[in-house]
A and B are shown apart, each in its own frame.
Chain A
Amino acid sequence: MAIEPFIDFQGRQVLVTGASSGIGQAIAVELGRRNAKLILLGRNREALAQASALIGQDHCHILSLDLADPDAILAAVRSVVGQRGRIYGMCHAAGLVETRPMSAIKLEGLRAVMEVNLTAGIELARVVCRRDIMTDEGGAVLFIASIYARVGMAGQISYSASKGAVTAAARAMAVELARRKIRVNSLSPGLVHTQMTDAAFGKLTPSQVKELEDAHPLGPGRPEDVARAAVFLLAPQNAWITGIDLVVDGGYTAK
Chain B
Amino acid sequence: MTTEQALAWIADIFEEPVEAIKPETPRSAINAWDSLGTLTLMARMDEDFGILLNADDLLQFKTAGDLLDMMKRHGQLV
Contact = CB atoms under 8 A, between A and B. Distances in A.
Interface residues of A, number: 5
A131 interface: yes
A130 B14 CA distance: 9
B15 A176 contact: no
Identify whether the interface residues of B are mostly helix, strand, loop, or mixed: loop
A8 to B, nearest CB: 28
Contact of A132 (B17, B34, B36): B17
Interface string A128-140: 0011100000000
Contacts of A176: 36
B51 interface: no
B32 A131 contact: yes
B44 to A, nearest CB: 14
A182 to B, nearest CB: 13
A108 B37 CA distance: 35
A132 B16 CA distance: 6
Contacts of B16: 131-132
Interface in A154-208: 176, 179
Interface in A104-147: 130-132
Nearest to A177: B36
Given A130-B15, A132-B16, A132-B17, 6 more contacts: A131-B16, A131-B31, A131-B32, A132-B15, A176-B36, A179-B34
11 contacts: A130-B15, A131-B14, A131-B15, A131-B16, A131-B31, A131-B32, A132-B15, A132-B16, A132-B17, A176-B36, A179-B34
A132 B17 CA distance: 8
A131 B31 CA distance: 9
A132 B15 CA distance: 6
Nearest to B32: A131
Interface string A85-97: 0000000000000
Contacts of A131: 14-16, 31-32
A68 B10 CA distance: 29
Contacts of A130: 15
From A130, A131, A176, residue with most partner B Cβ within 10 Å: A131
A154 to B, nearest CB: 40
Nearest to B17: A132
Interface string B19-49: 0000000000001101010000000000000
Nearest to B34: A179
Contacts of B36: 176
